[in-house]
Amino acid sequence: MKKEKITLALKRGASCVGCDIAIINLSENLLELLELADIVFAPTLIDVKYKDLKAMPEKSITIGLYHGAVRNSENEELAHIMREKCQILIAYGACAHLGGIPGLANVSDKNGIFKTVYKDTPSTENEHFITPQEEWRDNKDRKLTLPEFYDEVFALD
Protein backbone atom coordinates (compact mmCIF):
# COMPACT_ATOMS: atom_id res chain seq x y z
CA MET A 1 0.00 0.00 0.00
CA LYS A 2 1.40 3.35 -1.05
CA LYS A 3 1.65 5.96 1.70
CA GLU A 4 -0.15 9.24 1.21
CA LYS A 5 2.27 12.05 0.49
CA ILE A 6 2.60 15.01 2.79
CA THR A 7 2.52 18.52 1.39
CA LEU A 8 5.44 20.87 1.83
CA ALA A 9 5.71 24.65 1.42
CA LEU A 10 8.79 26.86 1.56
CA LYS A 11 8.70 30.61 1.96
CA ARG A 12 11.68 32.94 2.11
CA GLY A 13 11.77 36.16 4.09
CA ALA A 14 14.81 38.44 4.38
CA SER A 15 17.60 35.98 3.64
CA CYS A 16 20.38 34.93 1.33
CA VAL A 17 18.40 31.99 -0.18
CA GLY A 18 20.93 29.62 1.41
CA CYS A 19 18.18 27.47 2.90
CA ASP A 20 16.57 27.00 -0.53
CA ILE A 21 19.99 26.09 -1.93
CA ALA A 22 20.47 23.57 0.89
CA ILE A 23 17.30 21.80 -0.27
CA ILE A 24 18.37 21.89 -3.92
CA ASN A 25 21.78 20.53 -2.86
CA LEU A 26 20.08 17.37 -1.65
CA SER A 27 20.94 16.30 -5.23
CA GLU A 28 19.55 12.83 -5.95
CA ASN A 29 18.18 12.68 -2.40
CA LEU A 30 15.72 15.35 -3.53
CA LEU A 31 14.05 12.60 -5.58
CA GLU A 32 13.55 10.60 -2.36
CA LEU A 33 11.99 13.67 -0.74
CA LEU A 34 9.64 14.05 -3.71
CA GLU A 35 8.49 10.44 -3.20
CA LEU A 36 7.34 11.44 0.30
CA ALA A 37 6.18 15.01 -0.23
CA ASP A 38 4.53 17.20 -2.83
CA ILE A 39 6.03 20.68 -2.84
CA VAL A 40 2.97 22.89 -3.19
CA PHE A 41 4.54 26.31 -2.65
CA ALA A 42 8.18 27.31 -3.07
CA PRO A 43 8.64 30.52 -5.08
CA THR A 44 12.40 30.08 -5.37
CA LEU A 45 12.00 26.58 -6.80
CA ILE A 46 8.72 26.52 -8.74
CA ASP A 47 6.46 28.97 -10.52
CA VAL A 48 3.85 29.88 -7.92
CA LYS A 49 2.33 33.17 -6.88
CA TYR A 50 1.25 34.53 -3.51
CA LYS A 51 -2.37 34.27 -4.65
CA ASP A 52 -1.86 30.49 -4.97
CA LEU A 53 -0.85 30.25 -1.31
CA LYS A 54 -3.66 32.55 -0.20
CA ALA A 55 -6.21 30.38 -2.04
CA MET A 56 -5.18 27.19 -0.23
CA PRO A 57 -7.51 26.03 2.55
CA GLU A 58 -6.50 26.62 6.16
CA LYS A 59 -4.14 23.92 7.51
CA SER A 60 -4.04 22.22 4.08
CA ILE A 61 -0.22 22.14 4.00
CA THR A 62 1.35 19.47 6.19
CA ILE A 63 4.69 21.20 6.81
CA GLY A 64 5.85 24.72 6.06
CA LEU A 65 9.45 25.84 6.18
CA TYR A 66 9.81 29.59 6.62
CA HIS A 67 13.37 30.79 6.27
CA GLY A 68 14.66 34.28 6.52
CA ALA A 69 13.94 37.06 8.97
CA VAL A 70 11.02 39.48 8.92
CA ARG A 71 12.38 42.76 7.48
CA ASN A 72 9.24 44.30 5.96
CA SER A 73 5.45 44.12 5.84
CA GLU A 74 5.51 41.61 2.97
CA ASN A 75 7.67 39.19 4.99
CA GLU A 76 5.32 39.55 7.97
CA GLU A 77 2.16 39.05 5.92
CA LEU A 78 3.50 35.91 4.26
CA ALA A 79 4.72 34.49 7.59
CA HIS A 80 1.18 34.90 8.99
CA ILE A 81 -0.33 33.28 5.88
CA MET A 82 2.11 30.36 6.15
CA ARG A 83 1.14 29.91 9.81
CA GLU A 84 -2.54 29.85 8.80
CA LYS A 85 -2.10 27.41 5.91
CA CYS A 86 0.38 24.97 7.52
CA GLN A 87 -0.33 22.32 10.12
CA ILE A 88 3.29 22.62 11.26
CA LEU A 89 5.38 25.73 10.58
CA ILE A 90 9.12 25.45 11.13
CA ALA A 91 11.48 28.40 11.52
CA TYR A 92 14.07 26.96 9.15
CA GLY A 93 17.60 28.32 9.44
CA ALA A 94 19.39 30.89 11.56
CA CYS A 95 17.66 33.91 10.00
CA ALA A 96 14.14 32.67 10.77
CA HIS A 97 15.11 31.34 14.19
CA LEU A 98 17.41 34.09 15.48
CA GLY A 99 17.49 36.87 12.88
CA GLY A 100 20.77 35.70 11.33
CA ILE A 101 22.80 38.01 9.11
CA PRO A 102 19.74 40.21 8.29
CA GLY A 103 19.33 40.73 12.05
CA LEU A 104 22.65 42.60 12.13
CA ALA A 105 20.70 45.51 10.65
CA ASN A 106 19.29 46.03 14.14
CA VAL A 107 22.43 48.00 15.04
CA SER A 108 20.79 50.82 13.09
CA ASP A 109 17.28 51.94 12.16
CA LYS A 110 15.56 52.48 8.82
CA ASN A 111 16.83 56.06 8.48
CA GLY A 112 20.40 55.04 9.26
CA ILE A 113 20.29 52.19 6.77
CA PHE A 114 18.79 54.36 4.03
CA LYS A 115 21.36 57.11 4.71
CA THR A 116 24.23 54.63 4.36
CA VAL A 117 22.84 52.85 1.30
CA TYR A 118 21.36 55.76 -0.64
CA LYS A 119 23.63 58.67 0.34
CA ASP A 120 26.91 57.98 2.15
CA THR A 121 28.53 55.15 0.20
CA PRO A 122 31.39 56.41 -1.99
CA SER A 123 29.87 55.00 -5.19
CA THR A 124 26.42 56.52 -4.65
CA GLU A 125 25.36 59.60 -6.58
CA ASN A 126 22.04 60.67 -5.07
CA GLU A 127 22.14 64.44 -4.70
CA HIS A 128 18.49 64.70 -3.62
CA PHE A 129 18.68 61.69 -1.24
CA ILE A 130 15.90 59.79 -3.00
CA THR A 131 14.96 56.64 -1.09
CA PRO A 132 12.37 53.91 -1.64
CA GLN A 133 8.86 55.05 -0.77
CA GLU A 134 5.95 52.82 0.19
CA GLU A 135 3.84 54.48 -2.49
CA TRP A 136 4.85 56.09 -5.77
CA ARG A 137 2.76 57.50 -8.60
CA ASP A 138 3.97 58.06 -12.13
CA ASN A 139 2.99 60.94 -14.41
CA LYS A 140 -0.15 59.01 -15.46
CA ASP A 141 -1.19 58.66 -11.80
CA ARG A 142 -0.56 54.91 -11.75
CA LYS A 143 0.35 53.72 -8.28
CA LEU A 144 3.19 51.41 -7.28
CA THR A 145 3.10 50.14 -3.71
CA LEU A 146 6.16 48.71 -1.97
CA PRO A 147 6.21 46.83 1.34
CA GLU A 148 6.84 48.88 4.48
CA PHE A 149 10.52 48.65 5.47
CA TYR A 150 10.59 48.10 9.24
CA ASP A 151 12.97 49.83 11.67
CA GLU A 152 13.90 46.42 13.08
CA VAL A 153 14.46 42.91 11.79
CA PHE A 154 12.52 40.17 13.59
CA ALA A 155 12.97 36.43 13.88
CA LEU A 156 9.94 34.24 13.34
CA ASP A 157 8.14 33.71 16.65
Is residue 97 exposed (0-12), middle (13-18) or buried (19+ Cβ within 10 Å)?
middle
Residue 1: its pLDDT value, please? 64
Pairing status of strand 70-72 against strand 135-137: unpaired
Cα radius of gyration (the chain): 19
Beta strands in 13-137 (DSSP E): 37-41, 61-67, 70-72, 86-91, 135-137
pLDDT at 38 over 90: yes
Q: What value, to the nearest 5°, has the Cα angle with vertex 53 and ends 148 and 62?
A: 120
Model pTM score: 0.89
Q: What is the pLDDT of residues 47-96, one digit of tens each?
A: 999 999 999 999 999 999 999 999 999 999 999 999 999 999 999 999 99
Domains of the chain plus CATH, in order, are: 1-157 (3.40.50.700)
